[in-house]
Every structure is written in structure tokens, then in C-alpha cells.
Chains A and B, each alone.
Chain A
Amino acid sequence: GAVVSQHPSWVICKSGTSVKIECRSLDFQATTMFWYRQFPKQSLMLMATSNEGSKATYEQGVEKDKFLINHASLTLSTLTVTSAHPEDSSFYICSARNTGTSGSSYNEQFFGPGTRLTVL
């Protein structure tokens, strides 16, 4: 199946700093990527939809100025957590929708391995 990578896989930062997380679709084009957040023992919560070449669409309650999303190419979306605080500590997962070519995985969403963010 298609592969989605995330970098870094884990990060520890001080309160007040900004952290950038990258999400890449390695072998397919993804005009749409999604960012989720998952707290311990909870389900994934959709934060925003990242659209290549346009502004991201944020879910209700998610601060767009705090969670900056950039989708500058068909294979890369970045999430920047600005002025991170301990309550932002979570597992951040991206997924990419395969919109490159038709086929068995066309329009299927593939998930990255996640990024563990710990804010001290």
C-alpha cells in the first residue's frame, strides 16, 4: 500500500517554543491531507483538512493561529504548533488522500505513523 511518513516521530520541547511536524506522501500525490490529534486512551480527533495550494479548513474549536498548516506541494503538508504549552502534548497523526491516479487505492486515506509531542 501507499506510504505516508511523518517527521519527527517524537519531539520534546520547552513551553513557548514552536514545533513543526512534516507529513509526506512518499509514492502518491495527495492534494488533500488531514491532521488528527489523539490524547491517551482516546480516539483520533480531526483538527484540520490541508488542501494543496489553498488555506486549510479547521474543525470547530481548533485555533488556526496556533496550529499553522501549510500544504505547499502535492506530497508535503506541515503542521506548526506555535507557542506550545503542556496541554498541547499529544500524538499528532496525519493522513493523505490518494488523488494521484485512479486505481484500487484511489481516494483511499493512508495514515502516517504519528508524532509524539511532549511540551515541558
Chain B
Amino acid sequence: LAKTTQPISMDSYEGQEVNITCSHNNIATNDYITWYQQFPSQGPRFIIQGYKTKVTNEVASLFIPADRKSSTLSLPRVSLSDTAVYYCLVGDISDSGYSTLTFGKGTMLLVSP
């Protein structure tokens, strides 16, 4: 049973806001939600992580509803360099219950001029 479900691909234009939604219906109480970005032939790069409500950093925002069964990564004003695969992962990051990260298929975001 897949832990997360994301759209396979999304298209956008430069300057637009992009929202990628991830479903994680079976998220456990101790699970956090983490998003990674991956460019071709590179390792994944951490974007943002959250547990509930909203988290914002210098590159993105993460919206998590109260039931935590989904999350939305928001990228403001994307540029061509944001073209990449985006992965949503859920897992326990506590000392006692730390779980391995299982990557789903990810979302291929293509930003056009």
C-alpha cells in the first residue's frame, strides 16, 4: 500500500505559483511530512518539513489540514530552474520510532517560459 500519492506531472509558467498536493491517508501520529526536490543525476534536496498547519521557509510553504491526510507544497513565482521532480514523504523522525524514507513516484514539474 503506497504511503503517498501525488500527481505524476504538472506544468506551469514562469512567475506563477505552483501547488502540488500529496495524499497520505494512512499517516501515523508520529509521522512528519517532508518534501524533497530532485534534479536529473543529482541527489534529492530537502525543501520543507512539517507536522501540522502551515510551515514557511525561504523557498516554499507547506499547508497541512487538520486531519493531516494530505499536504500541499506551494512554490511561489516559479522559475525555469524549478523544473524538477518533487517528492512527498511521510515518516517518523523521533529517536525511538525513526523510520526509513520511502519514495513514491514523485511529481515532475515542468516550468516553461
Contacts and interface: CB of A to CB of B under 8 A. Distances in A.
B100 A93 contact: no
Nearest to B44: A111
Nearest to A97: B98
Interface of B: 36, 41-46, 49, 87, 93-95, 98, 100-106
Contacts of B45: 111
A50 B82 CA distance: 32
Given A44-B103, A116-B41, 17 more contacts: A36-B103, A43-B104, A43-B105, A43-B106, A44-B87, A46-B101, A46-B103, A49-B100, A93-B44, A95-B101, A107-B93, A107-B95, A109-B46, A111-B36, A111-B44, A112-B43, A114-B42
**Which of the listed residues A107, A109, A114 has the most CB atoms from chain B within 10 Å of its own CB?**
A109
Nearest to A91: B41
A34 to B, nearest CB: 6
24 contacts: A34-B100, A34-B101, A43-B104, A43-B106, A44-B44, A44-B87, A44-B103, A45-B103, A46-B100, A46-B101, A46-B102, A49-B100, A95-B43, A97-B98, A107-B93, A107-B94, A107-B95, A107-B98, A108-B49, A108-B93, A109-B46, A112-B43, A113-B43, A114-B41
Interface string A89-117: 00101010100000000011111111010
A110 B100 contact: no
Contacts of A91: 41
